[in-house]
């Protein structure tokens, strides 16, 4: 990596947190230590995702202790990690955005090195790779491996660790990628719809075992990944042309139904009874399905146009915010 002075930039660190009261103080402290002496402006944006414990109060205390460069966004209720991450990204002002988990398993000390690589190599995303992962085999590692292979197979974006939250983004790219549901684990795939895959790289990062609190994930998330993956596949391939997807299905079923009815018509001309043949019901059913798929494609095209022309919409509600951003720019940590 180049030893030259990094390209001038501003850095926003985004961390979503949910019921992580014991991790608040050490997490903020580690970020402060990791960015101590950082030569460019930076800020920390923490999204409290409707926590029911003391997370919000402790975050407010840490913001008061360290200064106005610590932003705390309290969501109205628990919207999920993806929405919390989106809220933080929307509020981030930096040219470069770093995201990581608030459970202390990601190490903030990796951030400067990853930012340097993003800028030196002119990339749009540097994703963390927990090569030496400190998690349980059955509940964390196995589901993660299954998910990584499924995602890579269906999206064509091959990474060793999709699930690592420690990622460095070029802000102007990630802000064009709307996140819904539990799509945070598919961000590299979504990024590939906005930039070239060659501008997405991996970096081995440090991973620590969880010290406080309990993991919010388990084996069940593998099934959620499969469901979300279908949505990702559709949006990556047919987001702007849903009629092509449903139209292909409709034409396929229409061809099968038409062939079946054509065959039965020939038999009828030959004097055979076709009223009791199962093929008649199946062929009619295929024709009905074909019409339904074609009409769904038309409706999909209409919804797609609405999707692209919609005004600025958000899928979360902010309840309150500590240290709101100062438009003058005087509240950066320098």
- The model's pLDDT over 39-98, given as tens digits with 9 standing for 90+, comes to 999 999 999 999 999 999 999 999 999 989 999 999 999 988 888 999 999 999 999 999
Q: Are 88 and 45 in contact (CB under 8 A)?
A: yes
Confidence category of residue 159, pLDDT binned at 50, 70, 90? confident
Q: Are 125 and 173 in contact (CB under 8 A)?
A: yes
State residue 77's pLDDT score: 92
Q: Tell which wins on pLDDT, 29 or 243.
A: 29
Q: What is the mean pLDDT of residues 174-188?
A: 79
Q: What is the mean pLDDT of residues 18-40?
A: 92
**d(Cα 124, Cα 188) in Å, to the nearest integer?**
10
Which DSSP helix (H) or strand (E) runs through 321? strand 318-322
State residue 315's pLDDT score: 52
CA angle 87, 93, 99 (to 5 degrees): 55
**d(Cα 14, Cα 16) in Å, to the nearest integer?**
7
What are the structure tokens assigned to 64, written together?
A: 């008061």
Q: What is the mean pLDDT of residues 278-302?
A: 92
**d(Cα 109, Cα 125) in Å, to the nearest integer?**
18
Confidence category of residue 1, pLDDT binned at 50, 70, 90? very low
Which residues sit opposite 96 in a β-bridge? 11, 170
Q: Are 297 and 245 in contact (CB under 8 A)?
A: yes
**d(Cα 98, Cα 111) in Å, to the nearest integer?**
7
**d(Cα 137, Cα 180) in Å, to the nearest integer?**
28
State residue 88's pLDDT score: 94
Q: Would you say residue 3 has pLDDT above 80?
A: no
Highest mean pLDDT among 96-105, 218-227, 322-331: 96-105
Query: Concatenated DSSP letters for 147-195?
Result: HHHHHHHHH----S-TT---EEEEHHHHTTS---TTGGGGHHHHHTTTS
State residue 2's pLDDT score: 44
Confidence category of residue 238, pLDDT binned at 50, 70, 90? confident
Q: What is the mean pLDDT of residues 303-325?
A: 67
Q: Are 53 and 15 in contact (CB under 8 A)?
A: no
Q: Considering the chain, what percentage of its residues have pLDDT values greater than 70?
A: 84
**d(Cα 85, Cα 18) in Å, to the nearest integer?**
11
Average model confidence (pLDDT) for the chain?
Answer: 83
Q: Would you say residue 216 has pLDDT above 60?
A: no
Helix segments in the chain, DSSP class H: 21-34, 55-66, 81-91, 110-120, 142-155, 171-174, 187-191, 221-238, 242-269, 278-309
């Amino acid at each position: 990596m180049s030893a030259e002075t990094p390209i001038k930039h501003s850095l926003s660190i985004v961390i979503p947190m949910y019921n992580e009261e014991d991790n608040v103080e050490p997490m903020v402290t580690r970020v402060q230590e990791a960015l101590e002496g950082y030569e460019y402006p930076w800020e920390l944006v923490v999204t409290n995702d409707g926590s029911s414990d003391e997370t919000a109060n402790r975050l407010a205390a840490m913001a008061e202790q360290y200064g106005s460069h610590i932003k705390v966004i309290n969501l109205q209720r628990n919207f999920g990690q993806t929405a919390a991450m989106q809220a933080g990204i929307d509020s981030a002002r930096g040219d470069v955005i770093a995201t990581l988990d608030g459970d202390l398993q990601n190490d903030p000390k990796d951030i400067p090195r990853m930012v340097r690589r993003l800028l030196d190599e002119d990339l749009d995303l540097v994703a963390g790779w927990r090569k030496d992962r400190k998690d349980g085999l059955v509940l964390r590692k196995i589901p993660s491996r299954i998910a990584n292979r499924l995602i890579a197979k269906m999206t064509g974006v091959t990474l060793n660790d999709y699930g690592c939250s420690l990622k460095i983004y070029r802000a102007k790219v990630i802000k064009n990628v709307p996140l819904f549901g539990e799509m945070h684990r598919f961000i590299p795939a979504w990024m590939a719809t906005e930039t070239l895959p060659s501008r997405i790289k991996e970096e081995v990062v440090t991973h620590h075992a969880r010290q406080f609190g309990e993991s919010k994930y388990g084996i069940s998330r593998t099934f959620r990944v499969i469901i979300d993956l279908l949505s990702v596949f559709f949006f990556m391939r047919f987001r702007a042309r849903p009629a092509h997807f449903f139209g292909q299905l409709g034409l396929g079923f229409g061809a099968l139904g038409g062939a079946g009815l054509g065959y039965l018509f020939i038999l009828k001309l030959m004097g055979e009874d076709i009223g009791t043949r199962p093929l008649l019901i199946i062929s009619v059913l295929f024709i009905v399905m074909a019409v339904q798929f074609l009409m769904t494609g038309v409706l999909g095209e209409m919804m797609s146009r609405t999707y692209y022309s919609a005004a600025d919409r958000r899928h979360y509600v902010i309840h309150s915010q500590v240290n709101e951003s100062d438009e003058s720019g005087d509240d950066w940590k320098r």
